[in-house]
Amino acid sequence: MAINLTTTSKITWCPGCPNSQILVSLRQVLQTMVAENKLRIEDVVMSAGIGCHGKITDYINMNSFTGLHGRVIPAMTGIKCANPKLTVIGSCGDGDAFSEGLEHLVHAARRNSDIKVFVHDNQLFALTTGQASSRSPKGFKGKSTPFGSIEEPFDPILTMLSVGATFVARTYAGDMKGTERVIRAAIEHKGFSFVDIIQPCITFFDTRDFLKERMYWIDEKESTGDLKKAIEIVTSVTDKIPLGIFLNTTKVTFEEQLHNL
């Protein structure tokens, strides 16, 4: 019997928001894994930060921990340390993963904490009605940058590869099959998983047409075990946006070492 992961909460994302696609993909992966006896749903904790993405925990009927803006990653590590049997997954926004609290992402990756981070990356602050985030392109015009952002955008994939993340991937919310495959691989990975989910904000920064021409899936046979190759893939293209699992390697986790002193 399929588990019911829906709640009675009214969904307040804008109609057509790709956040809903991420929610459906995530529910689908969990339902499938539970049906295949790969997971018990009570042993999974879904986490979120604060931003549009953070509403996801109200819309999914399972254990959840909705943290503070920018601070959910340490809590996820805390949950995993306290009970290593739990599968700890979570969503962040680009505001609360890359702007506020970037250090937590970097250090969680460095220590290979066995948690799975899915960033709903819409390249701006949406819930606060449209300001530039550290992911907005240079020249981005928002309410706080009416004459165009003067900052270079942050590169999450290259950063995650360089600080020791053992699973690094990017997907596109609109490609739900692709997203389900990547999320499932991230959950199945033992160690720190990072997935950047491109999620255009259809209200404040609709990049769907721009992205369609530039996104492509990489050939993962060439990349997943080799850090140098992964870095080469993500740095060799400047006008295109590669999707896929760039790195998937194994290393002892923080929590395993903590409990095996």
Partner 1 sequence: MTNEFHDVFTVGIGGAAGDGVREAGQSLGTLLSDLGFEVYISFTYPSLIRGGHNFSRISFSKEKVWCDHGKLDVLIALDEQTIILHKDELNPDAVVLADSFEADDISRLGANAVVVPMSSSSKVLEAPPITRNSVALGATCYLLDLHFPQMQDVLRQVFRERRLEVNIRLADIGFEHMQKLNFRHSRNLTPGQHTKDLVDGNMAFGKGLEAAGLNFYIAYPMTPATGILHYLALKQKDSGVRVIQPESELTVINMALGVAYAGKRVAIGSATGGFALMQEALSFSGIAEIPLVVAISQRQGPATGVPTYSSQSDLRMVIHSGHGEFPRIVIAPGDADESFTAGVDALNLAWRYQMPVLVLLDKLLSEHSVTMQIPTGVPIDRGLMAENVSEQYGRFAITGDGISPMAFPGTSNAVVKTTSYEHDENGITAEEALPVKAMIDKRFVKTETLLKELDRRETIKVYGDKESKNVIVFWGSTKGAMLEAAKYFTKPVKLVQILWVEPFDSKRVTEELKGAERIINVECNHDGQMASLLREKTGIVVTQSILKYDSRPLEPMELAAQINSIING
Residues that bind partner 1 (CB under 8 A): 7, 9, 42-45, 50, 55, 57-58, 61-68, 71-72, 74-83, 85-86, 101, 103-104, 107, 258-259, 261
Cβ closest to partner 1, residue 143 vs residue 259: 259
Q: Considering the complex, what minimum distance in angstroms separates the CB of residue 99 from partner 1? A: 14
Q: Considering the complex, what minimum distance in angstroms separates the CB of residue 25 from partner 1? A: 21
Tokens describing residue 179 = 């997203």
Q: Considering the complex, what minimum distance in angstroms separates the CB of residue 119 from partner 1? A: 18
> What residues pair up with 168 in beta bridges, in sequence order?
194, 247
Q: Considering the complex, what minimum distance in angstroms separates the CB of residue 7 from partner 1? A: 7
Q: Considering the complex, what minimum distance in angstroms separates the CB of residue 45 from partner 1? A: 5
Cβ closest to partner 1, residue 9 vs residue 235: 9
Give the span between the Cα atoms of 192 and 116, in whole angstroms. 6
Cβ closest to partner 1, residue 24 vs residue 68: 68
Residues 6+ positions from 155 with CB-CB distance below 8 Å? none
Q: Considering the complex, what minimum distance in angstroms separates the CB of residue 214 from partner 1? A: 35
- Sequence length of the chain is 261
Cβ closest to partner 1, residue 51 vs residue 200: 51
Cβ closest to partner 1, residue 91 vs residue 224: 91
Cβ closest to partner 1, residue 42 vs residue 206: 42
Amino acid at 127: L
Query: To 5 degrees, how large is the angle CA 46–CA 120–CA 168?
Result: 85
